[in-house]
Homo-oligomer: A and B are copies of this chain.
Amino acid sequence: MISKRLSELRKRKKWSLQYTADQLGIAKSTYAGYESGYRQPSLEAIKEIASLFETSVDYLLGMVDNSSFELEHKDKMKSLELTEKDLLAKVRLTIDGKSLSQDELNQFIAFIRVKREVEAKR
């Protein structure tokens, strides 16, 4: 699993084994061993490999199918509509570490709606 994903990622970047090994600071034969399945990288090595290829260790190990580290870890929460039904069942909103109740959220929504109404008329 890991060998397949490694060679796929490397070829996608059009890197040679030597160049890749140099980037990682290891011998070419060592990295080649990873791709051929002849060797397995150490924990330290696989972390650096994941960084170099901008992916996650979980992807290299076949724990997930998503290769994009960015997509996986960052871009998840891009926009949250607060009026969405049952939002609090999906997302826990906190203030000072304490969960927001649906009541409090409703009050806030009402408050903002009124405020915007007023401002629109000026």
Contacts and interface: CB of A to CB of B under 8 A. Distances in A.
A82 B61 CA distance: 34
A41 to B, nearest CB: 7
Interface of A is mostly: mixed
Given A43-B46, A58-B56, A108-B111, A97 B77 contact: no
A57 interface: yes
- Going nearest first, the 8 A-B pairs with the smallest beta carbon separation are A79-B92, A78-B91, A57-B57, A108-B108, A77-B91, A81-B94, A57-B58, A82-B95
22 contacts: A40-B43, A41-B43, A50-B58, A50-B63, A56-B64, A57-B57, A57-B63, A58-B58, A64-B73, A77-B90, A77-B91, A78-B91, A79-B91, A82-B95, A83-B95, A83-B96, A95-B113, A98-B116, A100-B112, A107-B111, A108-B108, A111-B111
